[in-house]
Structure 1
Amino acid sequence: MRVMVADDAALFRAGVARLLTDAGFEVAAAVPDAQALLAAVAADPPDAVLVDIRMPPTHTTEGLDAAATLRERHPGVGVLVLSAHVEPHYALALIESGASGAGYLLKERVADVDELADAVRRVAAGGLVVDPSVVAALVGRARAHSPLDELSAREREVLAVMAEGRSNQAICHRLYLSPKTVEAYVRSVFTKLGLHQGPDDNRRVLAVLTFLRG
């Protein structure tokens, strides 16, 4: 699998590239800013890119802006946005844009090579990845009555794991439930949130949005 890395910190950029190479990925480019990333992708699109949320020249939202541009120009390229801090509003903006093959991960997760590799593979396959810390921050906000109040404690646990972009199989492992039990809980979540029609992938994204918005 071919990936590209964009981060203005040379040591971090080189470190991530090395970790990905050791994990079996081909790092096609490692660049210091968003414009260089966009040019590299345009020249030879990879399967996925990892991009820092803050890069030159303003160090604000260059990574998110690059992610939006890549979704328009290269929808088949997975985008994993990396952030040094928990910034839930940026993660929510990424999800609400309707992006597939997108993710938001804290840089501290990079130290866990297996987790990083799994996140890259999931966005490359069109999945959604949200850092567990960001999910927790969003869910912890004060909120008024919402459809989530109709969910049982176990259904909320299932939806919380789903919000990280995990599959039913991953939910089974995390919560020690059988596949049929997880399927039943997922169906119940869809029903209680009013998501009665449409492909399961779309309903999962809509359910996650409901959960994160609170």
Structure 2
Amino acid sequence: MLRLILAEDSVLLRAGLTELLTRGGHQVLAAVGSAEELVRAVEAQRPDAVVTDVRMPPGFRDEGLRAALELRAQDPSLPVLVLSQYVATAYATQLLTGASAGGLGYLLKDRVGEVAEFLDALRQVAEGRTVIDPEVVRVLLSRQSEDRPLARLTPREREVLTLMASGLNNQALAARLFITEAAVVKHASSIFMKLDLDATEGNRRVLAVLAHLSGQEAEA
């Protein structure tokens, strides 16, 4: 069971998320509707993890994200799962910049409808892993020009890269793509070689890929 702080400005969605998380076996210590309340609640309750929307009052721009970054600056080990209505790669990049041991997640709100996937993503973030919505990775991939290293990747390697960033380990990746774990390792090694990255594992591996994607996007 995780002790959670939830921040969502929509009353209905906040109530729905609270119910979903409670049914998932977790304890929602506080469910708040603004970024200021989120910061105060975390400081008072010291939760195991935070789930927050990007856009919060009063400006409904990126107040929730900025609150998450503030909380991470105070406690780099605090797991944070950020929810967004739309694909905004700049938000994902901001969240991942300077990422440390604490888990981080960036998911589209549509993913919440897939309850099992959403709860699994939260679990991974709480365990210190990085989970990024596959659609965000696809957008980053689609923005790479043909002269960038990502153009060297085969269609299968792009599939592996997308699922890797969404938090799947080698076993789960193999099951999703109906290939062997040995094949996953081979594809991953090829990806890192083509991107000139160290073949690190786990959370560091995902962060390395996303840092590379974000950097390539900035240069484009």
Do Structure 1 and Structure 2 share a fold, with TM-score over 0.5? yes
Residues 176-212 of structure 1: CA distance to partner in whole angstroms, max 9, x if unpaired? 1212221222222222222237665423321233245
**1:31 CA drift (Å):** 0.8
CA distance in 1: counterparts of 2:97 and 2:11, whole angstroms: 31
Are the structure 2 counterparts of residues 198 and 87 from structure 1 closer, same or farther at C-alpha, using a change threshold of 3 Å?
Answer: closer
Gaps of 5+ in 2: none
In the TM superposition, residue 55 of structure 1 has moved relative to its aligned partner by 0.8
Letter in 1 for 2:104: A
Number of residues of Structure 1 aligned to a counterpart in Structure 2: 214
1:87-112 CA-partner distances (Å, limit 9, x unpaired):
22212322234355111111122122
Report the Cα distance in structure 1 between the residues aligned to 2:46 and 2:206, rounded to whole angstroms.
Answer: 28
Separation (CA, whole Å) in 1 of partners of 2:206 and 2:90:
20
Map Cα deviations across residues 38-86 of structure 1 (whole Å, 9 max, x no partner).
Answer: 1111122212111111111111111110111111112222111111222
Aligned to 1:109: 111
Which position in structure 2 is the counterpart of 1:191? 193
Tell me how far apart the structure 1 counterparts of residues 122 and 187 of structure 2 sit (CA, whole Å): 27
**Superimposed CA distance per residue, residues 116-167 of structure 1 (whole angstroms, 9 cap, x where no aligned partner):** 1011111111111111222222222252412223333322221121122322
Structure 1 stretch displaced more, 97-106 or 25-34: 97-106
Residues 177 and 114 from structure 1, CA distance in 2 versus in 1: closer, same or farther, beyond 3 angstroms? same
Q: Is the 8 A contact 1:45 1:77 kept in 2?
A: no
- Answer yes or no: is the 8 Å Cα contact 1:159–1:208 preserved in 2: no
Matches within 5 A, 1:35-46: 35-46=36-47
Instruction: Mark the CA change 1:200 to 1:32 in structure 2 (over 3 Å): closer, same or farther.
Output: closer
Query: Matches of 2:139 and 2:111 in 1, distance apart?
Result: 16
Q: Which residue of 1 aligns with 2:6?
A: 5
Kept after mapping to 1: 8 A contact 2:49/2:126: yes
Output the TM-score relative to the length of structure 2.
0.88
Give matches, 1:4-43, under 5 Å: 4-43=5-44
The code of the aligned residue for 2:50 comes to V
Q: Find 1:161's aligned residue among 163, 167, 170.
A: 163
* Residue of structure 2 equivalent to 1:51: 52
In structure 2, relative to structure 1, the CA distance for the partners of 1:179 and 1:23 (3 Å cut) is same
Partner of 1:63: 64
Aligned residue number for residue 170 of structure 1: 172
Residues 163 and 211, structure 1, Cα contact 8 Å, conserved in 2: no
